[in-house]
């Protein structure tokens, strides 16, 4: 599948949003501050996610950071430091959680192309993505403890679900980052590639996902995301329900017909 540029949408101050064929790209564009997240940037991310969710032509989202050093180096500490009460901080953090939850439940797979530092909010942004691919130079961690606080955009909840409780507690309590190879070993990322191959690898994965049935991918992500919170019996019933729904779709008919006819399926999301 060849990606043809549909056009760039760059109406933002802190991010770049563009599409190529069925793939959308969201780049955090604050390289001067290592792409740190502030409230304005989070609001722009939310707007971009709304576009991805609403556009049926977009099948996959790639998230990355501008420049050569950083994916996202964390939250904007200068902005956070201004909060003088827990109440103000809580409202700010809850909004960030809501935006990352939108990403996590987008209904379309997202790929974090981790091109450097993914610390604090950057690690949490990557954790909210469906798949994480890291460049060899990547450093990933949750250093909030060194500031006397804890992660607030879902790090204490998503990290243990991804890598297990023990290792997650070690990373959260020590505040120490892991390198790309260690991230791969513990399951924090699914692949590590040379720095100059990162976007090529992310696009290769996006191209593969674009060939899959969109409804089936959405329900598969829901089955995993929701089922992990259920008892095994309830989760198995949930899985069976999802499969039953898919048997009513045109994509199911196309997929099985294509298999019998020994040709690639042409899924339409119907």
Please list the active-site residues.
Answer: 124, 144
Give the residue carrying structure tokens 């955009």: 153
- In the chain, the largest separation of any two C-alpha atoms, in whole Å, equals 66
CB-based contacts of 3, cutoff 8 Å, min separation 6:
20, 21, 22, 23, 203, 207
Phi-psi region of 11 (alpha: psi -120 to 50; beta: other; left: phi over 0): alpha
**3-class DSSP assignment, residue 246:** helix
Rounded to whole angstroms, how far apart are CA atoms 154 and 158?
6
Sheet with 60-65, strands from edge to edge, namely 5-9, 15-20, 23-28, 60-65, 110-114, 131-135, 191-193
**Distance separating alpha carbons of residues 213 and 85, to the nearest angstrom:** 47
């Amino acid at each position: 599948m060849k990606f043809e540029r549909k056009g760039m949408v760059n109406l933002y101050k802190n991010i770049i949003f563009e599409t190529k064929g069925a793939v959308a790209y969201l780049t955090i564009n604050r390289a001067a501050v290592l792409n740190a997240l502030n409230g304005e940037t989070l609001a722009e991310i939310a707007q971009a996610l709304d576009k991805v969710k609403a556009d049926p032509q977009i099948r996959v989202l790639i998230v990355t950071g501008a420049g050569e050093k950083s994916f996202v180096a964390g939250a904007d500490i200068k902005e956070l430091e201004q909060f003088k009460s827990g109440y103000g901080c809580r409202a700010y953090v809850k909004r960030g959680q809501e935006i990352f939850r939108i990403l996590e439940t987008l209904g379309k797979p997202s790929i974090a192309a981790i091109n450097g530092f993914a610390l604090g909010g950057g690690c949490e942004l990557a954790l909210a993505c469906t798949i994480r691919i890291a460049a060899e130079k990547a450093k990933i961690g949750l250093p909030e403890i060194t500031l006397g606080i804890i992660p607030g955009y879902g790090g204490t909840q998503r990290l243990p679900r991804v890598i297990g409780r023990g290792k997650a507690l070690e990373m959260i309590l020590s505040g120490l980052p892991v390198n790309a190879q260690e991230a791969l070993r513990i399951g924090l990322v699914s692949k590590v590639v040379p720095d100059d191959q990162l976007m090529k690898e992310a696009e290769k994965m996006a191209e593969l996902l674009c060939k899959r049935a969109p409804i089936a991918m959405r329900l598969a992500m829901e089955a995993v995301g929701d089922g992990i919170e259920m008892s095994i019996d309830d989760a198995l019933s949930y899985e069976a329900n999802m499969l039953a729904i898919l048997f009513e779709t045109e994509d199911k008919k196309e997929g099985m017909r294509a298999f019998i006819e020994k040709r690639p399926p042409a899924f339409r999301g119907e």
